[in-house]
Amino acid sequence: MPEQPSLRSELAAATRILASHGLIGMFGHVSVLTEDPQRYLVCPGAGARKDRCRPEDVLELDLDYEFEPGLPLELYMHSEVHRLKPHIKSLIHVHSPALVALAAMATVPADLLMLHASFWPSVMPVWDEPDLVRDRAAAQRLIGILGDEAIALLRWHGAVIVGRTLHEAVFRATLAEEHSGQLVTALSHGQPLAPVPESIDREDLYAKVLSPRTHDMHWGYASSFVTVPPGARG
Footprint (CB under 8 A) of a copy of itself, residues 172-201: 178, 181-194, 196-197, 200
Listed ranges 32-40, 76-84, 136-144, 204-212: which one lies at the site for a copy of itself (CB under 8 A): 204-212
Q: How far is CA 32 from the centre of its chain?
A: 10
Contact 23, 173 (CB under 8 A): yes
12-44 per-residue burial string, b: 16 or more CB within 10 A, e: under 16: bbbbbbbbbbebbbebbbbbbbbeeeeebbbbb
Contact 43, 72 (CB under 8 A): yes
Listed ranges 1-9, 75-83, 108-116, 226-234: which one lies at the site for a copy of itself (CB under 8 A): 108-116
110 binds a copy of itself (CB under 8 A): no
Residue 132 CB, shortest distance to a copy of itself, in Å, is 6
Listed ranges 58-66, 83-91, 105-113, 136-144: which one lies at the site for a copy of itself (CB under 8 A): 105-113
232 binds a copy of itself (CB under 8 A): no
145 binds a copy of itself (CB under 8 A): no
Binding residues for a copy of itself, rule CB under 8 A, total 61
Nearest of 163, 136, 39 to residue 80 by alpha carbon: 136
